[in-house]
Chain A
């Protein structure tokens, strides 16, 4: 069975600090996708990034960067120079392929509440 663990329940930082959110996953599949979603106080989940299991290149998008390491089954998310608007719950999620060859349901971690204080 697939599982996603986000060990950090809450993180609090001061604006402009860098912060890393950890994500560890378990799966028996060799083909899978990893995701990060942001859930601001308004409640709507916002897609941030998708990574497939064959692409271990790290990715940077503005102040966001992601570090995917298959050897440790981790997909960590770093926010550089955090801002108050980054305050939200962040979820890591895993999607496995099924016999039809396409990914479908997402398995989410419990989320990390990030609070960025001014």
Chain B
């Protein structure tokens, strides 16, 4: 499978716990994006990387959220001290650095905070 993969696909956690999600982009893609999608809404941009550099973070990304992309390959998104409002689908996408920016999305990680 050469598409974008995300793990885990589902995560149930209790409020206050920390969670970490992983995204493996398409191998030759140097851009990687994180989005969050809540029920009935479109995906909302969280952050993006070009290679290993995190170039922008949305205001949606509070201090409890941190993302990394060591060595410009896979990326992790960590949420500390989870809250019920963090319950959502977390989507990862990747693209090549070009002017067309066709982003390929992974299947997402569905987070439920109890």
CA distance A101 to B31 in the complex (A): 15
Which of these binds chain B: A59-67, A72-80, A108-116? A108-116
Contact of B101 among A4, A33, A46, A110 (CB under 8 A): A33
Interface residues on B, range: 20 to 34
Of B42, B89, B97, most A-chain CB atoms within 10 Å: B42
Further pairs besides A42-B107, A106-B103: 6, Cβ < 8 Å: A33-B101, A37-B105, A43-B89, A43-B107, A103-B99, A108-B44
Q: Which B residues form the contact surface with A (CB < 8 A)?
A: 31, 33, 35, 40-45, 48, 55-56, 89, 91, 93, 97-108
Q: Which A residues form the contact surface with B (CB < 8 A)?
A: 4, 33, 37, 42-47, 50, 52, 91, 93, 95, 97, 101-111
